[in-house]
Structure formats: C-alpha cells, structure tokens
Amino acid sequence: MTAMARWTATIGMARRALRPVDPRFAAALERRWAELPASARTPGQVLGRHAVGCEGTHGVFPKCNLACTPCYHSRDANQVRVDGGHTISQVRAQMRLLDQVRGPRAHAQLIGGEVSLLDPDDHAATLAVMRAHGREPMSFTHGDFDYDYLARLALGPDGRPRLGRLSFAAHFDSLMFGRRGIPRPPDEASLNPYRERFAAMFARLRREHGVRSFLAHNMTVTPANLSQVAAVIRDCRAMGYGMFSFQPAAFVGDDRRWHEDYRDVTGDQVWAQIEAGAGTRLDYHLFEHGDTRCNRAAYGFWAGDRWFPVLDGADRRDLAVRDAFLEYFGPVSFTGTPPALLAARLAVITARHPRVLALAVGWAARTIRRAGPLRLLTHRIRPVSYVMHQFMDAADVRPAWDLMQRGEVSADPRVRATQERLAACHYAMAHPENGTLVPACVQHCVLDPAENRALRVLLPLSRTRPDHEAPGQEAPGQEAPGQDEPDAEAGAPGGPREPAGRAPGDGR
C-alpha cells in the first residue's frame, strides 16, 4: 500500500469513527418506532428515538438457591443443572440474533436463576460474549455471595483485571428466604446491612483493582412490604446504588409461591411510596420507556439530603431541552462508546446545531439555581434513578399473545390493553431457534414452563452413576438431585441445600 493509500484509508477510518450516527443503529431505532402502538408514541418516548429497549437472556441458568414469594420461575427451574458451556453457547446465539434484529448497541441483562452459581470464569466469558455483540451486560443476582467470587470474576488468572467495568442488579427484599445470616427476614430494614455489604464489595474492588461498577437495587413489592418501600429508599440512598427498581408482584411463574392477593398493590401506590422515599414528586412522563402501565422512571441526583431531577417536567424550557436531546442526540449510541469518542461525536452535532449549546447553558444554570450553588459545592453529587416495572399476570398474557400471533385485536378491553402493553414492551428476549424476539412477560408467562421442562432433560441435576464412581462424587457442574425444590406451603426451600449464594469453588 502506498503512502497516499494509507493516508486515504486513515482519513476514511477517522470519518467513520467520528460519524455521529451509526446507520445500523439509526435503522434499528426507526423499526422500533414503527412497531410501537399509537398509545406509546408520546413526546417523551425513548423507544425508537434513543434506545431500542433492554434485552435479557433466558434458558441459560434457571436454577436459584434462594426461595422467594412470589417466584417468577416455573416449577422445573430448580431441577436444571447450571452448566457454563451451555450458558456461553446459548448467550452467544441469543446475542447474535439481538445484534441482527435490534442493531449494534443495547443494554442486555444476564439473567435466569442465580448468576453467582456460574463458575467465575464462565461468568466472565459470558459477559465477554455479550460485549462482543455490542451489548452492555448487567448480571442479576440475589447478592448473597462473597468478595472472593467477585474478585475471581473481575480478575484473570494473573490477578490483573479482565473486566474494566461490571454492572450488577441485586435483588433484596423480605420476601426472599434462605439468605445466609438471615434466612427469614422479619422486615426490609433487617436487610439493610446485607444491602450495604453487597455494595461495599464493589467499592473494595474499585479501591484495590480499579474495576469500576454500576449497581442497581431490585425489590419485589406485595401488600406485605408496600409500606416499607419509602424507608428502603431513605435508608439506602447513599450505599452506592445508582438505581432503585421496584416490581409490584404479579401472578407469574410457580403458583405454589403465590401467598397474597397481589392485585391489592397498584402501580400508583408503589410510585407514591417511591416519591415519599425520594422526598419529592417524580415525573415519569418526562422520559417514557414503552408503556407507562409497565414502566415508570425518574432520573436525577442526590446532593446532600435532597434529590433533584435532571429535568423539570413543569418547566417548558426543560421540555425544550428534552425535545432537542431526542431530536439531535437521540440516534447517537451512548452505550459502549468510549468517552473520548462520544465527546467528539457530540461536539460534531453541536457544531451543526449551535442552538444546542444555548439550551445546555440554560439548563445548567437552572439546575445549579434549583439545587443551590453552596449545596453543590459542599456535597457529593450522586446520580440515582428510580424505576418501577409492573409485570402482567399470566392469565392475561396468554390469551393476548395467542391473538397477537394470529394478527387479531381483542374485543375485550382488558386483553386489548395487555396487547398494547406487549406491543410497546421495553424488554425483549431472543429465540435463535426460530429467529423471533418476544416480550419478557411472554417468556415468563407462556414459554418458560415448556422451556424449563426441556432443560430439565437436557441438563438434569443427576445422572446415572458409573460403577466405579462412589456415591457423593458428582461430576463437575452437577449437584445432588432434589436440592432447592420449593416448599409450596411455607414458601421456603425444603430439604437439604447448600448455603445460599455459594458459587462453585467458592471455598466455603
């Protein structure tokens, strides 16, 4: 290659790198917007304008070693062996399809049963597969594992970081049974030391090895703990979680774990508790993620003892900032883009649309004025968002999905509302075997039971023991049969089980 050819190639690469919008991502956004029902095409809608939505894995490790009431897993989930090779291969296939259908960038959740039951090397390899397909992965856990597991996940055999950043969503609530040290929590406050311990492990990892992290806190809400939501937010706001997500319980999964009338809790009641904890009104229409009957979100930051929204939905000037952001920066892929390159791309857009700079300066001035310059100078600013995800009952999802598969709209208002929510779903799961994507509620309500029955055959907990193998010598990755089978009446694990949160090779 001549010097001129090399120079031309270099210039071409620089132009492509600085191109603000990836054509594949822009095309994926256009498809997503076209798929949305008219009810979801609102001024604050993010889907199809800045994001394609979140993604999740399924059928990769359904087994868990805690018990919850309710439990969204099907009856067979705990009879499937955790197998790292299966997880990696299935995640690779699912991410490949998501990349093809939903474009090159998205947030994806490594979710199933308990992620820390994966060997740390298999866990790390799976996260690498997700990143290789342009996904920003988040591992879902009950949080009952030790620092040793976290370190072996983040660090390679040479002791050097193999993962520069980790994202975890930890589920803590008093409806979970079997946690070490507190197998039956009497209330939410009793779990605060465990919430704090979990976050502290990641602070230590950053301090000792430079590995950054983002932590989300998840909590299921039923009539039993609804009144405690506000206190959880107040007590845990400074522990290090960047998001607090609350899920009103639905009649999904293992019906042996349904012990309350979950319909007694409404989304409005949960959101009111979240607002009480944050100490202010939270405008969930400012930015919408699909259907607000399913998702509500508010973005802002704590400065001292007060939470402030990033934008004030009651201020027309802030609404103009939102609209400009979605118009000019919406098609820019923020996920997975190196900060320096992202800054360069944003600078290119700003140069093309100078009014953006004036809007940004005005927004910054208003935000400083609302929070107070002294407060901002004397307190650490901690970005924290609040989210509510409301899943739907299986009895509603099944008929709605059956009709959608036939291209029919229900005449029943309740079923038709379910169809609208499914069409606007923010959370998709991939099925490489037939090239389709399905909403998470469809996966859990319709597809999980048969899928986990098949996995129980493919990855059984036990196998026929060869004559030369003594009892108790299980093959790697296999466990004794019958562990962790739910006790339908008590809602707690029945029979022998290993300590909660124990990962293979955890040394405990």
376-394 pLDDT tens trace: 999 999 999 999 999 999 9
Across the range 217-230, mean pLDDT stands at: 97
Percent of the chain surpassing pLDDT 70: 88
Contact 443, 94 (CB under 8 A): no
Confidence class of residue 14 from pLDDT cuts 50, 70 and 90? low
How much is the pLDDT for 12? 52
pLDDT digits (tens, 9 = 90+) for 484-501: 333 433 333 333 333 333
CB 57 within 8 A of CB 90: yes
Contact 309, 300 (CB under 8 A): yes
- Please give the pLDDT value at position 4: 59
Q: How confident is the model at residue 335 (pLDDT cuts 50, 70, 90)?
A: confident
Give the pLDDT of residue 149: 98
Please write the tens of the pLDDT for every residue from 262-300: 888 999 999 999 999 999 999 999 999 999 999 999 999
Question: 121-173 pLDDT, tens per residue?
Answer: 999 999 999 999 999 999 999 999 999 999 999 999 999 999 999 999 999 99
67-68 and 212-221 strand pairing: unpaired
Cα separation, 479 vs 485, in Å, equals: 13
Q: Using alpha carbons only, what angle is made at residue 331 by residues 329 and 333, rounded to the nearest 5 degrees?
A: 90
What are the beta bridge partners of residue 212?
Answer: 165
Mean pLDDT score of the chain, rounded to an integer? 89
Give the pLDDT confidence score for residue 297 in this predicted structure.
Answer: 98
- Longest Cα separation, the chain: 78
Give every CB contact of residue 123 below 8 A, 6+ residues apart in sequence. 110, 115, 116, 139, 153
pLDDT-based confidence at 338, cuts 50/70/90? confident
List strand residue ranges (DSSP E) for 391-435, in order: 427-431
Q: What Å distances lie between residue 54 and 22, 434, 441, CA to CA?
A: 19, 20, 13
- Mapped onto helix, strand or coil, the DSSP state of residue 63 is coil
pLDDT attached to residue 10: 53
Residue bearing the bigger pLDDT, 479 or 328: 328
Encoding tokens for residue 292?
């607000």
* Alpha helix positions (H), 133-260: 147-154, 192-209, 229-236
Q: Where is 218: in which H helix or E strand?
A: strand 212-221
Q: What is the pTM of this model?
A: 0.88
Q: Mind listing the pLDDT tens digit for each residue in 448-483?
A: 999 999 999 999 987 544 443 333 333 333 333 333
Q: Angle at Cα 238 formed by Cα 283 and Cα 426, nearest 5°? A: 40
How many CA atoms are closer than 13 Å to the CA of 225, on its beta-carbon side?
Answer: 26
DSSP 252-292: -S-GGG--S-GGGS-HHHHHHHHHHHHTS---SSSSB-S-T
Please report which residue ranges of 279-412 form alpha helices under DSSP H: 316-324, 339-352, 355-371, 373-378, 394-405
What pLDDT was estimated at residue 1?
Answer: 65
